[in-house]
């Protein structure tokens, strides 16, 4: 199994988890790129961090680099929404092992969102490792569905 480059971003609520993941994933051989924030600020505006991480995933993938992203927050919801605004991103909120794996297997998600206040550090680490290690199934039905989403994203056309 190859290890993708991992782009990570958080808000203030996920900083402890983010620091843990940067260290943990680096020790597992992942090249981790931290998009911030660098210092704790309870009033931070997470969208820029998450958008930058998501955009870096897409840029890497377009350049042929195997890359995935992680966005963290208190719930992970806002971070997922921000990441999904980047063209080419399929960010999924993972809250258990099944959703983490299915995000990759069925949806070829390239960014995972996790709520740092919803899980222990150990649980969140397990979810993220499951996401990073699960391959996309490449089943025709999933490719077709992802294609329909991409068509809408690029053209505004809803394909039946």
> What's the CA gap between 24 and 37, in Å, rounded?
18
Task: Mark the binding-site residues for D-ribulose 5-phosphate, compressed into ranges.
Answer: 11-12, 74-78, 107, 117, 141, 145
Positive/negative CA dihedral, 53, 58, 62, 65: positive
The domain locations on the chain are 5-155
> What's the CA gap between 132 and 152, in Å, rounded?
26
82 phi/psi in degrees, rounded to 5: -60, -50
Residues 104-160: tens digit of each pLDDT = 999 999 999 999 999 999 999 999 999 999 999 999 999 999 999 999 999 999 999
Residues 39-89: tens digit of each pLDDT = 888 888 999 999 999 999 999 999 999 999 999 999 999 999 999 999 999
Alpha helices per DSSP H over 28-139: 47-62, 77-84, 97-105, 121-133
Task: Mark the binding-site residues, compressed into ranges.
Answer: 11-12, 74-78, 107, 117, 141, 145
Cα angle value 93/94/97 (rounded, 5°): 165
According to DSSP, residue 44 is labeled: -
Residues carrying an active site annotation: 79, 106
> pTM of the entire structure?
0.96
- Burial (CB < 10 A; 0-12, 13-18, 19+), residue 74, is middle
Label the pairing between strands 32-34 and 67-73.
unpaired
CATH fold of 5-155 reads Ribose 5-phosphate Isomerase B; Chain: A, (3.40.1400)
């Amino acid at each position: 199994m190859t290890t993708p480059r991992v782009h990570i971003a958080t808000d203030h609520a996920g900083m402890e988890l983010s620091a843990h993941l940067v260290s943990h994933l680096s020790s597992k051989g992942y090249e981790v790129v931290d998009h911030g924030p660098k210092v704790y600020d309870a009033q931070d505006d997470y969208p820029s961090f998450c958008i930058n991480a998501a955009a870096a995933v897409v840029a890497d993938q377009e350049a042929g680099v195997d890359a995935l992203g992680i966005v963290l927050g208190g719930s992970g919801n806002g971070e997922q929404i921000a990441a999904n605004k980047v063209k080419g991103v399929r960010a999924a909120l993972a809250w258990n092992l099944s959703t983490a794996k299915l995000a990759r297997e069925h949806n070829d998600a390239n960014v995972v969102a996790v709520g740092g206040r919803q899980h222990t550090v150990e649980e969140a680490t397990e979810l993220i490792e499951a996401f990073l290690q699960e391959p996309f199934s490449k089943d025709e039905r999933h490719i077709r569905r992802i294609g329909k989403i991409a068509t809408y994203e690029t053209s505004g056309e809803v394909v039946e």
